[in-house]
Structure 1
Amino acid sequence: MLKLLLVAGVVAGVVYAVFWALERRQAAGRAQRQHPSARRPRPRPSRMVAPDDDEDFLRDLDRRRREKDEPG
């Protein structure tokens, strides 16, 4: 009798785990259909360029330095 209860408990646990996993999978699919933006990654905001990486800034610094160093 104890073996029968043990087997029934194990079978019930396996059936519960299978149905739980299926329900979670279906719930995740419903959530994605309700929020289509959740499937697409959002565009990353443009990041600020450091002054030493900005070619225009460096070019302007060189121009100012040359104008300062030129005589007259």
Structure 2
Amino acid sequence: MFLLILVVAVVVVVLVVRATAAAGSELRQQRPASRPRPTQVTRPVAPDDDPEFLRELGRRVRRDDSPA
């Protein structure tokens, strides 16, 4: 009797797993394709990546090195 209940329980679990997998694949097919993310403008990460910072630094160095 115990063996019969065990076999029935295993069959029920297998059927539930298959039904869930089938429903999941149907839902994936019905979903619209996601839009690609818009490309973001890359900003400088560090000061030495920023061209404006480097220009200002060059100006400061030239100003400090000029003969008085």
Q: TM-score range by the shorter chain?
A: 0.5 to 0.7
Distance 1:15 1:66, change over 3 A: same
Q: Which residue of 2 is the match for residue 30 of structure 1?
A: 30
Structure 1 position 48 matched with structure 2 position 43:
yes
Q: C-alpha root-mean-square deviation of aligned residues, in Å?
A: 2.5
Letter of the 2:43 partner, please give it. M
Output the CA distance in 1 between the equivalents of 2:50 and 2:34.
37
Q: Which has the higher helix share?
A: 1
- Counterpart in 2 of 1:19? 19
Displacement, 1:23? 0.8
Gaps of 5+ in 2: none
How many residue pairs end up in the alignment? Answer: 67
- TM-score, normalization: structure 1? 0.62
Identity of aligned residues (%): 36
Structure-1 separation of matches of 2:43 and 2:34: 29
| Residues in 1 aligned to 2:59 and 2:13: alpha-carbon distance in whole angstroms | 76
- List structure 1 runs of 4+ shifted beyond 4 angstroms: none
Question: What amino acid sits opposite 2:66 in the alignment?
Answer: E
User: Could you tell me the TM-score, scaled by structure 2's length?
Assistant: 0.64
1:12-33 Cα shifts (integer Å, max 9, x gaps): 11011111111112212222x2
Whole-angstrom CA distance in 2 between matches of 1:13 and 1:25: 18
Question: Structure 1 regions of 5+ residues with no counterpart?
Answer: none
Q: Which amino acid aligns with 1:58?
A: L
